[in-house]
């Protein structure tokens, strides 16, 4: 991460840095290809279109009624003995969690992976308060050791090769050396046991908050969430208001679709429904807003709040697969990251993220919440003040495509230009910033139109 700068305004610079490291794109593509292929296989077992309609509907119902659901959820959890806190923003979330930790003289925390935790910087805030925090998800633990943020929603260390992971574990935690991922996982698991048993406080996120019953759904593949939520006598669930759903029955399509869409698994290994504090345990639920309620009511961005964080849109995004997550400079990356960062105003230069999109539509095809990601990204892109050079490029393309005659004339001129000034033609593409990772486009000797006409004539 050292070579990547934080902040959306650094996207272009970071993307260039990433482009100079083709091995990064190769590692990411290998991992995401695996998820895409497995997704395709398991999706044949369900009617994705029907499930998508169901998820879209239930998420829409929930996001349009967040205040009502929040009141019901609060009443239910308090009746069960949970402590409920509402945090309007990042600072409030940090303050509440640190107050709880200090009141119990907490010195060590075991934490499960949570993007909201990244959004509010809770680990850093706890560490600044002198509290030792251990990430218990394997990928998240590796990026913690490497002093970098996760680069993907569900696979935090997707940008690292197996060799790099082994080196980090050995150098930073003295675990290993091992070459096989299985050996690393077993060693980390043993090391984590002592952290779980000795932790003063557990900290987890939630995949869904059920207003009807006051229960919380937590999904994990490694089983670490069960240990985080059940071993320490003090537990903080840090979650966000957009995770609310109305009924217990709403969990069924989420549990059925999220793992298939995310990693191509039929079901997540551990689905925990936390419905009451265990005996002798104190549980605090901190529900963060951070602009979500306002965004849910926005006529354009309202649909973005339906996101169930499956990361399928990230896996299929050609831009993410090339530059990786750190290049975005923001907590949320890929197509959903572009949209959420803008919808929630998480970065003053969020609009610049919309440059990281080819509008290929791949993300919209896989989104189980039916979010029109390309449409929203196009909206974000058109809402700002583009650079002069980009406006010029758009004008040239607009003029060229405005009619068949112009299109033909433009390509005729381009062919002529290339024939007369071969070196100038190459320089032109270089000036347009096209050749960083691509070759100079060749101009076909015969246009498609011409081939079509010739074919029709039977030539
Ligand atoms: S935008 Fe859709 S595909 Fe992307 S993470 Fe959210 S729910 Fe999944």
CA of 453 to the centre of ligand 1 (A): 44
Q: Which one, of 304, 330, 245, 412, lies nearest residue 1 by Cα?
A: 330
Q: What is the pLDDT of residue 63?
A: 97
CA of 258 to the centre of ligand 1 (A): 9
DSSP string, 288-338: E-TTHHHHHT-TTGGGGGG-----HHHHH-HHHHHH-SGGG-SSS-HHHHH
CA of 337 to the centre of ligand 1 (A): 9
Q: Which helix (H) or strand (E) holds 139?
A: helix 138-145
The secondary structure of residue 180, as a DSSP letter, is S
CA of 377 to the centre of ligand 1 (A): 14
Give the whole-number percent of the chain exceeding pLDDT 70.
99
Least confident of 104-108, 201-205, 406-410: 406-410
Nearest CA to ligand 1 atom 6: 307
Measured torsion, CA atoms of residues 28, 261, 202, 79, in degrees rounded to the nearest 10 = 160
CA of 291 to the centre of ligand 1 (A): 19
Q: What is the pLDDT of residue 3?
A: 86
d(CA 101, CA 109): 9
SS (H, E, C) 402-436: CCHHHHHHHHHHHHHHHHHCHHHHHHHHHHCCCCC
Give the whole-number percent of the chain exceeding pLDDT 90.
78
Q: What is the pLDDT of residue 419?
A: 83
| Domain boundary assignment for the chain | 26-294, 391-457
- Residues 123, 318 contacting (CB under 8 angstroms): no
Q: What is the pLDDT of residue 374?
A: 97
Atom of ligand 1 nearest to the CA of 312: 3
Angle of CA points 332, 334, 339, to nearest 5°: 70
Mean pLDDT of the chain: 93
> What letters, b where the CB count within 10 A reaches 16 and e where it falls short, cover 263-272?
bbbeebeebb
Quick: pLDDT tens for 140-160: 999 999 999 999 999 999 999
Q: CA 90, 94, 97, 99 torsion: positive or negative?
A: negative
Nearest CA to ligand 1 atom 4: 313
- The residue among 438 and 317 whose pLDDT is bigger is 317
Quick: pLDDT tens for 9-53: 999 999 999 988 888 989 999 999 999 999 999 999 999 999 999
Atom of ligand 1 nearest to the CA of 339: 1
Atom of ligand 1 nearest to the CA of 366: 3
> What CATH superfamily classification does 26-294 receive?
NagB/RpiA/CoA transferase-like (3.40.50.10420)
Nearest CA to ligand 1 atom 8: 310
CA of 176 to the centre of ligand 1 (A): 36
Q: Which helix (H) or strand (E) holds 145?
A: helix 138-145
Nearest CA to ligand 1 atom 2: 367
Q: What is the pLDDT of residue 247?
A: 97
Alpha helices, DSSP H, located in 20-111: 22-43, 48-63, 66-80, 90-103
CA of 314 to the centre of ligand 1 (A): 8
Task: Give the pLDDT mean for 176-181.
Answer: 86
Atom of ligand 1 nearest to the CA of 334: 4
Please give the model's pTM, rounded to 2 decimal places.
0.89
Q: What is the pLDDT of residue 51?
A: 96
Atom of ligand 1 nearest to the CA of 373: 1
Confidence of residue 178 (pLDDT cuts 50, 70, 90): confident
Token output for 134: 């251990």
Q: What is the pLDDT of residue 209?
A: 98
Distance separating the N- and C-terminal Cα atoms of the chain: 57
Least confident of 238-252, 283-297, 379-393: 379-393
Angle of CA points 290, 291, 293, to nearest 5°: 115
Q: What is the pLDDT of residue 305?
A: 97
Quick: pLDDT tens for 52-109: 999 999 999 999 999 999 999 999 999 999 999 999 999 999 999 999 999 999 999 9
Q: What is the pLDDT of residue 1?
A: 62
Q: Which residues line ligand 1 (CB under 6 A)?
A: 307-313, 336, 366-369, 371, 373
Quick: pLDDT tens for 274-324: 999 999 999 999 999 999 999 999 999 999 999 999 999 999 999 999 999
Is the pLDDT at 436 greater than 80? The verdict is no
Atom of ligand 1 nearest to the CA of 340: 1
């Amino acid at each position: 991460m050292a070579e990547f700068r934080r902040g959306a305004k650094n996207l272009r610079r970071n993307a260039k840095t990433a482009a100079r490291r083709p091995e990064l794109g190769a590692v990411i593509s290998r991992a995401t290809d695996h998820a895409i292929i497995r997704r395709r296989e398991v999706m044949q077992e369900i009617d994705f279109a029907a499930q998508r309609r169901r998820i879209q509907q239930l998420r829409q119902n929930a996001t349009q009624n967040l205040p009502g659901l929040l009141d019901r959820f609060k009443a239910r959890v308090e009746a069960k003995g949970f402590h409920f806190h509402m945090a309007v923003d990042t600072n409030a979330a940090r303050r509440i969690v640190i107050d709880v930790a200090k009141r119990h003289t907490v010195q060590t925390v075991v934490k499960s992976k949570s993007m909201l935790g990244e959004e509010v910087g809770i680990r850093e805030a706890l560490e600044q308060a002198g509290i030792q925090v251990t990430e218990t998800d394997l990928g998240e633990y590796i990026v913690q050791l490497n002093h970098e943020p996760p680069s993907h929603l569900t696979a935090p260390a997707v940008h690292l090769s197996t060799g790099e992971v082994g080196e980090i574990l050995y150098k930073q935690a003295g675990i290993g050396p091992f070459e096989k991922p299985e050996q690393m996982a077993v060693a980390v698991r043993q090391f984590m046991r002592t952290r779980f048993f000795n932790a003063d406080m557990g900290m987890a996120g939630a995949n869904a908050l059920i207003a009807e019953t006051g229960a919380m759904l937590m999904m994990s593949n490694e089983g670490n969430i069960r240990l985080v939520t059940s071993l320490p006598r003090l537990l903080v669930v840090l979650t966000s208001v957009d995770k609310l759903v109305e009924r217990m029955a709403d969990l069924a399509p989420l549990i059925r679709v999220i793992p298939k869409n995310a990693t191509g698994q039929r079901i997540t290994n551990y689905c925990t429904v936390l419905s009451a504090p265990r005996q002798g345990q104190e549980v605090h639920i901190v529900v963060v807003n951070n602009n979500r309620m306002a965004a849910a009511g926005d006529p354009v961005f309202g649909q973005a709040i339906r996101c169930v964080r499956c990361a399928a849109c990230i896996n299929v995004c050609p831009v993410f697969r090339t530059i990786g997550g750190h290049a975005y400079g923001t907590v949320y990356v890929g197509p959903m990251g572009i949209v959420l960062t803008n919808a929630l105003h998480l970065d003053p230069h969020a609009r610049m993220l919309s440059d990281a999109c080819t509008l290929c539509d791949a993300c919209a095809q896989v989104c189980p919440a039916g979010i029109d990601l390309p449409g929203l990204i196009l909206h974000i892109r058109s809402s700002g003040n583009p650079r002069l050079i980009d406006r010029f490029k758009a004008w040239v393309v607009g003029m060229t495509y405005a009619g068949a005659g112009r299109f033909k004339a433009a390509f005729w001129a381009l062919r002529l230009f290339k024939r007369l000034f071969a070196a100038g033609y190459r320089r032109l593409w270089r000036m347009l910033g096209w050749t960083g990772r691509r070759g100079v486009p060749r101009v076909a000797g015969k246009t498609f139109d011409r081939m079509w006409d010739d074919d029709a004539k039977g030539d």
